[in-house]
Amino acid sequence: IRGVIYQKNAFEPVANGSINQKPDKESIAAAEEALSSNNRETDAIFFYNPKTASDDWIRSRKIIEKIGRHVFAI
């Protein structure tokens, strides 16, 4: 998992260093929900925050799931 997360240019939070910020209560709750839920798998291979994403290409992908402020797409 670590190798995927820290792969060069794979995730913006790694590139900009925000991955090292202390998580807030909402982030902890989201992680706990994801870890405790069954059947949270989807076919999504992309995710982004529609309010902050600046690349038009990602918006062309079909959204199949929304969790909090992020959407997951194929």
- Average pLDDT, stretch 16-23? 94
Residues present in the chain in total: 74
What is the average pLDDT score of the chain?
89
Identity at 73, one-letter amino acid code: A
Give the residue with greater pLDDT, 9 vs 16.
16
- What residue ranges do the domains of the chain occupy? 1-40, 42-74
> Concatenated DSSP letters for 4-57?
HHTSTTS-HHHHTSGGGSPP-HHHHHHHHHHHH-SS---S--EEE-TTT---TT
Q: Which pLDDT tens digit goes with each residue over 50-65? A: 999 988 999 999 999 9
Amino acid letter, residue 34:
A
pTM (two decimals): 0.56
Q: Which pLDDT does position 19 carry in this prediction?
A: 93
Instruction: Say if residue 31's pLDDT is above 80.
Output: yes
Residue 36: predicted pLDDT: 85
The helix (H) or strand (E) run that includes residue 2 is: helix 2-5
